Amino acid sequence: MTQAALSNEVSVLDWLSSVIEQHGTKPSSLIPILQEVQKQHRYLPEELLTYIATAMNLSPATVYGVATFYAQFSLAPKGKYIIKVCDGTACHVRKAMPVYEALRKRVRLVDGKSTTDNKRYTVETVSCLGACGLAPVVTINDRVYGQVTPDAICLIIDELEKEEGDQA
Amino acid sequence: MGSMIIDGKTVEFNGETNILQVIRKAGIDLPTFCYHSELSVYGACRMCIVEVDGRGINASCHTPPEEGMTIKTNTMELRKIRRNALELLLANHNRECTTCERNSTCKLQDLAQRFGVRDVRFGERDVKAPIDTSSPALVRDPNKCILCGDCVRMCKEVQGIGVLDFANRGSKMVVTPAFNKSIGDVDCVNCGQCAAVCPTGALVVKSHVDKAWEAIYDQKTTVVVQVAPAVRVAIGEEFGITGGRSTIGQIATALRQIGADKVFDTSFAADLTVLEESREFIERFSEKKNIPQFTSCCPAWVKFVEQYYPDYMDHLSSCRSPQQMFGSIVKRYYARETGIAREDMFVISVMPCTAKKFEAERDEFKIDNNPDVDLVLTTQELARMIKEAGIDFAELEPTSMDMPFGFATGAGIIFGVTGGVSEAVLRQAHEVISKKELTNVVFKEVRGQAGVRAVETQIDGITVRLAIVHGLANAGRLLEQMKAGEVSYDLVEVMACPGGCVGGAGQPISFSASEIRSERGKGLYREDQLQQLHKAQQNPMLNDFYQKWLQSPGSAEAHEALHTHYGSRRRIDGEAISVNEFDSAPIEIQVCVGTSCYLKGSVNLLKLLTKKIKDEGYEEQVKLRAAFCCQQCAGGPMVIIDDKVIGKVSGDRINEIVQLIKDKLRVSAS
Ligand code: SF4
Ligand code: SF4
Ligand code: FES
C-alpha cells in the first residue's frame, strides 16, 4: 500500500489491523508486522506498537524489546533524507566532524536531536562506510558523496531545499 | 535415578532436572546469578560452569544429569573464568556499595567477596542512566543491573504480566519497561517479586524508613502501628531466629522502644474481614449473584483484575483489605474514642508486602486527602529501624499488644499464608449456615503449596467449590478457564505472592525462597494452634467493637467504613492514534481500542463510524482518535465525544453518534 493510498482511503488503524490480519497473531508474525510498519512510516510509532501488543496479546515490553533489538527498526521518526556522515578513522582524520557540525547547523538541528522538526532530514554518524579512499564520505539516502567539505555539504543541502521548494 | 562423581565423591541423583541441583544437593554451593529453581533456565551468567569429563566446560544449570558423569566444580580454569566474568559484571556496575539498599544482601557483592576480587581491571561505565522512582513500591536503578533476566522471567512466568523485558542489544542492552517508561506508568501491580529475585540493587523496594522516624520524632503525632500476620514469622530471620518462629512479642517490645504510641495487630482487622467477607459470600451464594466471589485482600491481585479482567470486577469482594479496614477503624472510631484528631494520628503498617504501599496511596482510602494508612513499612524496613536503634532483638522480653485491636483469633493469623483466608471464612460460614458449633476447625484440604488448589467442601449438605491460587500467572490461567466455561467455583482466593503473604517481597531477602516460605507458613499454622480461639466470630474484642460502632456485619455503617468499590484501570500510559488528519476540527471523537474494548470489536466500530461520518459529509468537522483505555472497560466498547462518554456502543448506535455531531455543530453555529 502506498503512502498516498494510506492517507486518502483508509486510516492508519484500518491499515494496521489488516496487516495484522494478514500475518496472523502468532508470535513469529511480530517481526514481519514491524517491518511493514517501519516501511510505511519510516519508524515505529509508540502508539502503533501498543496497538500491536494489544492485538497480538503480547506484553508491550516484549514488543518494545523486539523493536529495539534489530538495527532495521527505528523508534524515532526518520526524515525523508537520511544523511550519514562517516566518522571512521580515515574520515575522522580527514575532518569529518567539521562537516557533521556544519550540516547540523545548516539543517538547524539542536539539542542532540537527529531528525529535523519538519521530518525532512535525519543526520547520523556511522563508523566506516567502506569508502575510505573518498574520505570524508557522506551518504544521503543511497547516494554517496566523497571528499566533502563543510561548504560542500551546505551546497548539497541548498540543492535539496530548492527541489523540495519547487515541489511544494 | 543414577549416580555421578562430583569432585571425587559419588553422588546419587533422583529426579533433578539439571546437574546444578545435584551439585548443590551434594553440599557444594556453586555460585549463580541467573538460576532460580522456580523459573525457567536462562543460562546467561556462566557462574555455574563445571568441567564434565569428556565434554569440557558446561553451564551446570543447563545440563541434565546422566549416569556415570564425572564432574569437577573447582579447577584453575573454572576459577579464572568465573573471576573474569565477575570482573566484567563489576566493570559495568555502579559500585557505590556503601549507600546501596542491598549492601550486605547483594549477590554480586557476596560473590566478589567469595572469589576475592580486589581489583577491577576494566574501566567504569561513564554515562549514568536516570534512576526510576515513579512507583510507590519500587525503585529501579539501571546502573546496577547485571542483565541476568531474573526479574523478566519472574514477572512473566510467575505473575503472567511481563512488565520488564530486555531492550536494545550489545553494549546498550537494558532491562526496562515498555518504551523505556517509568515502572509507575505501566501495568506493574507492585508485587515486588522482581525485586525479591534481583541479585543486586537494580530493583529494590522503596524505603519509607525516614518518614517513619519523622512521625515518631514529632511529639504532636500519635503513632499507631499495625503488624500484619506474616511479619511475625519472618522478621526473626534478620536476627538469627529461624524456622518460622513467631516473634510477635518481641516485635511489640521493639516497636514501643522505637517510639510507637500504640501497637496493634492487623490480624484483628483480618478477623473483621472474615465476618464481613463471609456475610457477603453467604448472601451472594444464596442469591447466585456475582459468584464466584474473589477475595480482595491482595492489592496486587486487585490491580491485576482492574487491568486485565474488567468484566470480572463485580466478582471481587467489596471488602477492603485488612490493612485498609484497620486504617479506617482507627482513624474513624479509635480517633473519636481517644479524642485525637484524625490529622494528629499517624497510622503505620508493617507489612510483608510491597503492593500495600501502593494500596495505602489509593484515593478510595482517603478522607479529605488524609489517608487511612499514612505509611507502609515492609518487614525488612522495620528490621532496619530496629538495627538502627541498636536494639538486640533476639534478647528482647516479649510484651503483649495494646487493646482493643491487639487481640486476634487464629483465623486472622492464618491470613498470611495461602489458603488461610479461605479456611478462616469456612470456619465462620459453617457456623452461620448450619447454625451448629464447628468443632474441628482445621481444613487440611485448603492448605498446601500447589499453585492452584481446587477443593469441594460440604457445609450442612451444601457443596461449596473453592479455588485457592497463588501467583498471578496461575490466577490468569484460572480466569481464562472460567471464561471458557471449563471450570466454575463459588469462592476464589488469590494471593499474588508465591506461598501467600509469607512469601511477600517485603520479607527478609533469601535465596532459597521456597523452603523458607513453607517454614514461615507452618509457623503461622502453629500460631493458630497456640491461640485459645480459632474462629473470628469468637473474638470478644471484635464483638464489642461491632456493638459499639457497627451493629452487625454488612450494616450500612460497616459498608461505609469497611467496604469499597474498585474500577477498571489502564495498562499503559500513552498517546492515542490519530485516525484522520483533521487535527483542528471542532469536535473530537475517541474510540477506545484498549484490550477490553478491542476484544469487544471497537476497531470495527471505529471503521464503521469513520465511514458514516464521511458519508454524511462531516469528515472535516471531526478529529478521530483511537485511544488506549478510558478506564471504564466493563461498559465497553467506549466512545468519547469531546467530554461526553458513551458506553456499550454497537454498530446500530452509530446514528445516535452522528446525531450528536449534528447537534454540536448546530449549537456552535448558532
Ligand atoms: S513488581 Fe511485580 S508486577 Fe511489577 S514488575 Fe515486579 S514482578 Fe512485575
Ligand atoms: S534488574 Fe536485577 S534481576 Fe533484573 S536483569 Fe537486572 S540484575 Fe537481573
Ligand atoms: S546459573 Fe547457570 S548460567 Fe547463570
Q: Assign B607 a pLDDT band (cuts: 50, 70, 90).
A: confident
Amino acid (one-letter) located at B31: P
Mean pLDDT value across chain B: 92
On the question of pLDDT at A4 being above 70, the answer is no
B234 burial level (CB within 10 Å; 0-12, 13-18, 19+): buried
Please, what sign has the CA dihedral across residues B305, B306, B309, B315?
Answer: positive
- Does the domain at residues B2-74 carry the CATH identifier 3.40.50.20? no
For helices A30-41 and A60-69, the axis angle rounded to 10 degrees is 70
Question: What whole-number distance in Å separates Cα of residue B205 and Cα of residue B183?
Answer: 13
Quote ipTM for the complex: 0.84
Is the minimum CB–CB distance between B626 and chain A shorter than 8 Å?
yes
Average pLDDT over residues B91-119: 89
CATH of domain B209-395+413-562: 3.40.950.10
- Best CA proximity match to B381, nearest among B519, B228, B499: B228
Which 62-121 residues of chain A touch chain B by CB within 8 A? 62-65, 68-69, 75
DSSP-assigned beta bridge partners for residue B623: B588
Which ligand sits nearest to residue B140's alpha carbon?
2
Closest-approach residue (CA) in chain B for A59: B162
Which of the two residues, A132 and B351, has the higher pLDDT score? B351
**CATH number for the domain whose boundaries are B85-205:** 3.30.70.20
B280 catalytic per annotation: yes
Ligand 1 center to A74 CA (angstroms) = 27
CA atoms of B177 and B406, how far apart (whole Å): 41
Residue B317 among the catalytic residues: yes
Per-residue confidence band for B511, with pLDDT thresholds at 50, 70 and 90? low
Contact assessment for residue B115 and residue B155, using Cβ atoms and an 8 Å cutoff:
no
More confident residue, B619 or B112: B112
Report the alpha-carbon distance of residue B273 to residue B322 in Å, rounded: 6
**Other beta carbons less than 10 A from residue B512's beta carbon:** 9
Range B301-304 contact pairs with CB under 8 angstroms and sequence separation of 24 or more: B301/B189, B301/B472, B301/B475, B301/B494, B301/B495, B301/B496, B302/B359, B302/B566, B303/B189, B303/B190, B303/B355, B303/B358, B303/B569, B304/B161, B304/B189, B304/B472, B304/B475, B304/B476, B304/B496
Segment B365-385, tens digit of pLDDT? 999 999 999 999 999 999 999
Facing residues of B378 across strands?
A: B351
Contacts of A62 in chain B (CB under 8 A): 162, 165
In CATH terms, B577-669 corresponds, of 2.60.40.420, 3.40.30.10, 3.40.50.10490, 3.30.70.270, to 3.40.30.10
Which pLDDT band, with edges at 50, 70 and 90, does A7 fall under?
very low
Residue B125: predicted pLDDT:
66
**Domain layout of chain B by residue ranges:** 2-74, 85-205, 209-395+413-562, 577-669
Question: Which cell is B21 given?
Answer: 541441583
Strands B2-6 and B9-13: antiparallel
Amino acid B93: pLDDT: 87
Q: What is the 8-class DSSP label of residue B53?
A: T
What is the per-residue pLDDT across B441-488, written as a single tens digit (0 to 9) for each? 999 999 999 999 999 999 889 999 999 999 999 999 999 999 999 999
Number of residues that make up chain A = 168
> Measured between CA atoms, how close is B578 to chain A, in angstroms?
8
List, chain by chain if needed, residues with CB within 6 Å of any ligand 3 atom: B 32-35, 43-48, 59, 61
CA distances in angstroms from B507 to A158, B160, B351, B520, listed in the order given: 65, 22, 8, 11
Same fold, B2-74 and B577-669: no
Taking only the tens place, the pLDDT of each residue in B314-346 is 999 999 999 999 999 999 999 999 999 999 999
Catalytic status, residue B277: yes
